Amino acid sequence: PINGAAAPPPPLPREGRTVFISLSSLLHKPWGELSADGRLPSALFFFGSKRAWIFPTTEAERQESAANNPQYLRMDQRLRECILRKEEEGLVFWLKPDGLVYDGGLYSGDPGAYPRASEWLRGLQDPATGAPYRPLLLDPSWWRRGAAGGGFDPDNAKYTKRAGDVVKNMENGAHDYDPFCELLVQSNPSLTPAFM
């Protein structure tokens, strides 16, 4: 930075962008390794957790965080700071709203989560095209009608051929990885989901 000005954001990769989809997986990687990952500066974070599990402000939130993943409260401070920086840049999405009563089940989610995620993505620039990301394909009929009907083609699936699983995942606001990844790449092929 010159004269105390903030450093410019890192350049966006021309080939697309990585989306880290599991904070729990990132916690298993030492910070030195993670911070050296060339994908990190431009990556999106799409986490299935509540923000309050990572940044609790009350004792009840700390207890809920510990019950869901004790590593959240013990994460490296530098990763916590990285998440906050990315939040300031608009590059983080939390699938579960803080007020959600979560029962621990895979399909315990917020049915409004994916429409919100779609709006979040549409507000970001796709470095591969220079245009905003396309909205998520949230129409269940597109997934169910198949390639012959102009919809999802299971033969070109990258993560799951099961359209019903994708629909169930998005209708429940769940974070089942394969259906989520399929939704993401069918909607925006330049995005690359990653665990670590």
User: Per residue in 83-142, pLDDT tens?
Assistant: 999 999 999 999 999 999 999 888 889 999 999 999 999 999 999 999 999 999 999 999
The stretch 174-191 carries a mean pLDDT of: 97
Task: Answer whether residue 4 shows pLDDT above 60.
Answer: no
E strand or H helix that includes residue 191: strand 191-194
The stretch 145-150 carries a mean pLDDT of: 93
CA pair distance 175, 70, nearest whole angstrom: 19
The least confident of 14-23, 43-52, 91-100, 132-141 is 14-23
CA pair distance 123, 113, nearest whole angstrom: 16
- From start to end of 13-147, where are the E strands? 17-20, 44-50, 92-96
Residues 6+ apart with CB under 8 A from 102: 50, 64, 68, 96, 108, 109
The stretch 37-65 carries a mean pLDDT of: 97
The stretch 165-188 carries a mean pLDDT of: 97
Note whether 118 and 142 are within 8 A (CB). Answer: no
Task: Answer whether residue 10 shows pLDDT above 70.
Answer: no
| Whole-number pLDDT of residue 33 | 95
E strand or H helix that includes residue 192: strand 191-194
Task: Answer whether residue 36 shows pLDDT above 70.
Answer: yes
Task: Answer whether residue 66 shows pLDDT above 50.
Answer: yes
Task: Answer whether residue 14 shows pLDDT above 70.
Answer: no
| Whole-number pLDDT of residue 196 | 85
CA pair distance 1, 139, nearest whole angstrom: 45
CA pair distance 123, 133, nearest whole angstrom: 7
| Whole-number pLDDT of residue 104 | 87
